[in-house]
Amino acid sequence: MLAPRPRPRRPAATTLLVSFREVRHDQADDCLHYESVSVRAQANGWTIPAHRHEGLHQFQLLLSGGAQARIDGQDLSMPAPALLMVAPGTVHGFRYRPDSIGHQFTIPSASLESHWRSSPGLYRHLGSSALLVLQPGATLARLEALFSELSGEFSARRTGRSIALHGLANQIALLYLRHRDEASVTPIQPSRRDQLVARYRDLIEQHFRDNASLETYARRLHVSSDHLTRACRLHTGQGALALLQARRMLEARRLLAYTPMRIEQIADRLGYADAAYFSRSFSRAVGLSPSRYRASIDHRSTA
């Protein structure tokens, strides 16, 4: 007779609560956000209202308890243990059982994609949300260990924190993709109304370095720039040009934080006509000049 599986330990609570619609990833060592399921759920009466994460992937491992989820208009039952991957822009909300235990983290999609450039075919499978119902065994034990280690790294703030967090997040994403073939999978298709914005985001990821105009993007999508802007504002709260600019600024922050490239080289990489214009754009978006932003990152890494 098999021994009963030990009850999962409740993950250590993190004191940082961020808003449903915005996760802070602007600093070099805030490359992702982790929290236990119970932290946010308990603070909200075990009910998470419908919301979306723009430009973020979320992975949630539910170890015990369970939840009713509504994801892009689909009502789903989430029995524990289960692994849920929520793709960027997906509207999702949950009603958890009060005894639910689990982990979750969100990571900028651009950051995740940059580590999968050698396997674009694999990364495309992360473009739509899915729920994996798990069975006790080696895969579940490995996932539990990876999420626990990620929780510890997120809280400890040790040297090499960002490298460790990225490594653990990529291992979890890879396990998710490998297990899709053998688990009970519920794919979640994006609603029709979000498809134009999703296609625009895909084009941004491919061409944000090209300095193409908004009109060029709209023509490729066979819509007017006004129609594209209205769709983006309706479904994201930001206009089409703001989304494009935000992606370029995210890349600029990454290059300033993680590479020794000169500001002139970064401006050229991102398609800006000159470094002065890039610096003004960066200062308006971030609140610091590129050089001061890089200096603040260097200070944090040596503090």
Fold that domain 33-188 belongs to in CATH: Jelly Rolls (2.60.120)
Assign domain 192-302 to its CATH architecture.
Orthogonal Bundle (1.10)
| Domains in the chain: boundaries | 33-188, 192-302
How does 108-132 read in b/e, with b if 16+ C-beta sit within 10 Å? bbbbbbeebeeeeeebeebebbbbb
Does residue 103 sit in helix, strand or coil?
A: strand
Q: Say if CB 94 and CB 104 are below 8 A apart.
A: no
With H, G, I as helix, E, B as strand and everything else as coil, classify residue 90: coil
Specify the 3-state DSSP secondary structure of 185: strand
171-227 pLDDT, tens digit each: 999 999 888 765 555 656 555 556 788 788 888 888 888 888 999 999 999 899 998
- Give the predicted TM-score (pTM) of the model: 0.62
**Confidence band of 277 (pLDDT split at 50, 70, 90):** very high
